[in-house]
């Protein structure tokens, strides 16, 4: 924050306030009585700059710095000895800092061969989820719970489940697991789902895919109640997504439907919105039409007023569509299918694919690659995700966020909108009855 000096016209302290209530120490002796007087003085200076920028700056870099600065100020105030209930940061801006206001803050031309680091972005989401989980526990005594049902002994599925459990534990989410044998019946899977559904400690239920071929995947996924459907695959949640794409994409906190979004699709949209560029009216091409990625991403892009084309296995001359796209979402499952010379200069490329490409020089005998020729596309694209380290970490982060949202919903609290990073405050735990939020 200190390395981003604000313009003089945006630093008027008359427009912003750092409210340190109930501080009975006289101002003349404040520094001597406070444990860290120098830190307290720094807090006051940073508060004036941060909250002023947050409320009034029109430049994205200053607004982004201010957004992080406001939360750092709270932490500094606590270290300076100010009691937690006495700290309140407020801006008198008519516009609140949400992704809805930031998404159109700069043109596409400002993108310049950016590598979108999914690992660092996912780490930030996990930190936010951990903080929200702690807040939920402090105010309600409830710990979000995630239940995973694993069928069979596929090594990759076991690895994914283990990774999800570890990620849940890191943010304070309680994990439950049920392992069923390879020859299990649909009815036995239904019973396992019913047991978790009846457990009040479980707020989200996940059936690890893929399932053995003799099981009816569609039927099993519909067995999970919508209010515990952490993957967002239930028909009601899918329908609510398509009926509310604009509300979701623009972060309208007045709407609580759908309860969750498919994790990978949510991660893709979070990365797009995080670029803070104007997506309205842009040409978007989505490769793949699966209900996990392609279909929900297409709907959400339409909610952002993009013109969306879906490319699939029956599409003729797919490169012609891709070459005119401002946004390319690749989720087709073919290694390096999208060539570098197909990418429009300055386009945003989100590579969802993860494939194994033979590589004798590697210890494992293969290397992970996406659906896009990364080396060929990175010099042309305005922004691109790597594989690995792009969308993958975001998927797990969004799973944790979905679990938190379902726990909030069970308590009558509104889910955290996709287009806003931070919503919660202690006051919300006292004002929203469950019946109201579920209407």
Residue of 229, 231, 326, 373 marked catalytic: 231
Beta strand extents in 104-203 (DSSP E only): 114-115, 145-151, 174-180
Separation of alpha carbons 432 and 439, rounded Å: 12
In sequence order, the β-bridge partners of residue 149 are 178, 207
Q: What is the dihedral of CA 43, 126, 428, 81, to 10 degrees?
A: -30
- Asked if 231 is an active-site residue, the reply is yes
The answer to whether 210 touches 217, Cβ cutoff 8 Å, is: yes
Residue of 208, 228, 229, 326 marked catalytic: 208
Closest CA to 211 of 182, 173, 168: 182
Residue by residue, DSSP assigns 261-313 as --HHHHHHHHHHHHT-B--TT-EEEEE---TTTHHHHHHHHHHTT-EEEEE-T
- Asked if 165 is an active-site residue, the reply is no
Q: What angle do CA 288, 401, 350 make, to 5 degrees?
A: 30
Q: What is the dihedral of CA 422, 427, 432, 437, to 10 degrees?
A: 0
Separation of alpha carbons 163 and 392, rounded Å: 12
Closest CA to 391 of 133, 143, 122, 106: 122
Residue of 164, 228, 282, 344 marked catalytic: 164
The catalytic site residues sit at 164, 208, 231
């Amino acid at each position: 924050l200190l390395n981003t000096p604000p313009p003089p016209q945006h630093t008027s302290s008359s427009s912003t306030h750092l409210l340190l209530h109930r501080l009975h120490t006289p101002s003349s002796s404040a520094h001597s009585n406070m444990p860290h007087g120098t830190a307290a003085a720094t807090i006051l200076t940073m508060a004036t700059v941060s909250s002023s920028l947050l409320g009034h700056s029109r430049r994205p870099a200053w607004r982004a710095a201010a957004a992080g600065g406001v939360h750092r100020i709270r932490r500094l105030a606590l270290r300076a000895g100010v009691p937690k209930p006495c700290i309140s940061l407020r801006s008198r801006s008519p516009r609140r800092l949400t992704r809805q206001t930031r998404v159109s803050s700069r043109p596409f031309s400002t993108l310049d061969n950016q590598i979108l680091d999914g690992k660092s972005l996912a780490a930030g989401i996990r930190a936010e989820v951990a903080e929200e989980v702690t807040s939920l526990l402090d105010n309600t005594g409830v710990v979000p719970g995630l239940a995973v049902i694993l069928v069979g002994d596929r090594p990759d599925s076991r690895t994914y489940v283990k990774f999800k459990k570890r990620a849940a534990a890191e943010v304070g989410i309680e994990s439950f697991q049920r392992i069923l044998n390879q020859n299990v019946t649909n009815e036995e899977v239904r019973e396992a789902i019913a047991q978790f559904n009846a457990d009040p400690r479980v707020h989200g239920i996940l059936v690890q895919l893929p399932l053995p071929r003799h099981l009816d995947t569609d039927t099993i996924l519909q067995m999970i109640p919508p209010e515990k459907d952490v993957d967002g695959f239930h028909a009601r949640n899918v329908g609510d997504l398509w009926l509310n794409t604009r509300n979701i994409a623009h972060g309208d906190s007045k709407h609580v439907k759908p309860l969750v979004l498919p994790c990978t699709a949510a991660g893709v949209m979070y990365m797009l919105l995080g670029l803070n560029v104007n997506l309205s009216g842009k040409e978007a091409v989505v490769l793949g039409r699966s209900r996990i990625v392609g279909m929900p991403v297409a709907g959400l892009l339409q909610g952002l007023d993009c013109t969306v084309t879906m490319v699939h296995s029956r599409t003729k001359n797919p490169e012609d569509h891709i070459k005119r796209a401002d946004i390319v979402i690749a989720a087709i499952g073919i290694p390096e299918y999208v060539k570098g010379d197909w990418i429009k200069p300055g386009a945003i490329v989100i590579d969802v694919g993860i494939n194994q490409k033979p590589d004798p020089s590697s210890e494992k005998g293969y290397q992970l690659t996406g659906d896009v020729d990364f080396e060929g596309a990175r010099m042309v694209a305005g922004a691109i995700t790597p594989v690995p380290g792009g969308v993958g970490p975001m998927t797990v982060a969004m799973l944790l966020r979905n679990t938190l949202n379902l726990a909030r919903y069970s308590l009558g609290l509104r889910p955290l909108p996709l287009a806003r990073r931070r919503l919660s405050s202690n006051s919300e735990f006292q004002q929203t009855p469950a019946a109201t939020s579920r209407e």
